[in-house]
């Protein structure tokens, strides 16, 4: 059996489920999207990159706030679903481009804002992607990273990464907030405000979106059933496997004089 590249894993996992991510209630709303809308309304006419756009919810929010948006993703099927939904909503300031986060096909200093939501935990090389985001941002630009984050406690972190990988073989890592700060600083950003949230994952829909094989579902449920009390309490693991995740929206600006 020939092994697939990580990029192929991502495309295979998400392309077939593109419409599920456009319609997903977990992805379609949230305080982080509301915050993105507020930030962009303060930048009228902004040129925005939605990096790893997935189902397009950041792109839709940004366009509704008056921005011109480039929705960028590795999956052609996902981009097609975003274009179709943008047309349905009457959002005519969204264009799509295909590619990976680590190599952006855009000139230097072209965007007023780079936004990424629920994507970075799939990136093969986060430092390279952040360096590219820094390159394409204007000096007075804004980076917003919104993603699932790992708890700082190693016990909780290990459990999270294990169930994420069992559910989705394209998963790389949910980074801790402390790791995000270090990564952003290394890429030439000044990390700013952090907004935390705790989205609830309905187990049945969580595994259905990824078409998780039954053997992996059983392994996740076994990890949950045998988890120490600290894990059960932190993640609020319910009888049907549903649980809470930690998420954070981090705002950052390019560091001057870099």
The end-to-end CA distance of the chain, in Å, is 47
| Domain boundaries defined on the chain | 6-150+170-199+245-254
* pLDDT at site 15: 45
**DSSP bridge partners of 249:** 146, 195
Rounded to two decimals, what is the model's pTM?
Answer: 0.88
160 pLDDT above the threshold of 80: yes
Chosen CATH of 6-150+170-199+245-254 out of 3.40.50.10540, 3.40.50.720, 3.65.10.10, 3.40.50.150: 3.40.50.150
Lowest mean pLDDT among 19-28, 221-230, 237-246: 19-28
Q: Per-residue pLDDT tens for 108-143? A: 999 999 999 999 999 999 999 999 999 999 999 999
Cα 78 to Cα 70, 75, 114: the distances in Å are 14, 5, 19
**Residue 55 pLDDT grade (very low, low, confident, very high; cuts 50, 70, 90):** confident
17 has pLDDT over 70: no
Q: What is the pLDDT of residues 167-201, one digit of tens each?
A: 999 999 999 999 999 999 999 999 999 999 999 99
Q: Is the pLDDT of residue 254 over 70?
A: yes
């Amino acid at each position: 059996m020939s092994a697939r590249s990580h990029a192929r894993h991502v495309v295979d996992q998400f392309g077939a489920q593109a419409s599920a991510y456009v319609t997903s209630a977990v992805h379609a709303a949230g305080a982080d999207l509301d915050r993105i809308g507020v930030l962009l309304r303060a930048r009228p006419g902004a040129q925005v990159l939605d990096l790893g756009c997935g189902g397009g919810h950041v792109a839709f929010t940004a366009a509704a706030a008056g921005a011109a948006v480039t929705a960028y993703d590795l999956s052609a099927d996902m981009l097609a679903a975003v274009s179709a939904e943008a047309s349905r909503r009457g959002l005519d300031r969204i264009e799509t481009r295909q590619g990976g986060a680590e190599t952006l096909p855009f000139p230097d200093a072209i965007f007023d804002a780079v936004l990424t939501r629920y994507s970075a935990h799939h990136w093969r090389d986060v430092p390279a992607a952040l360096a590219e985001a820094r390159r394409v941002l204007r000096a007075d630009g804004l980076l917003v990273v919104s993603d699932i984050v790992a708890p700082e406690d190693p016990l909780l972190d290990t459990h999270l990464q294990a169930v994420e990988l069992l559910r989705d073989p394209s998963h790389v890592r949910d980074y801790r907030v402390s790791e995000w700060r270090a990564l952003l600083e290394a890429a030439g950003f000044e990390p700013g405000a952090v907004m935390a949230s705790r989205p609830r994952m309905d187990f049945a829909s969580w595994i259905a979106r990824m078409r998780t094989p039954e053997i992996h579902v059983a392994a996740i449920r076994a990890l949950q059933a045998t988890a120490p009390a600290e894990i059960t309490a932190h993640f609020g693991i319910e009888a049907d496997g549903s649980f809470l995740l930690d998420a954070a929206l981090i705002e950052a600006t390019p560091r001057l004089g870099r």
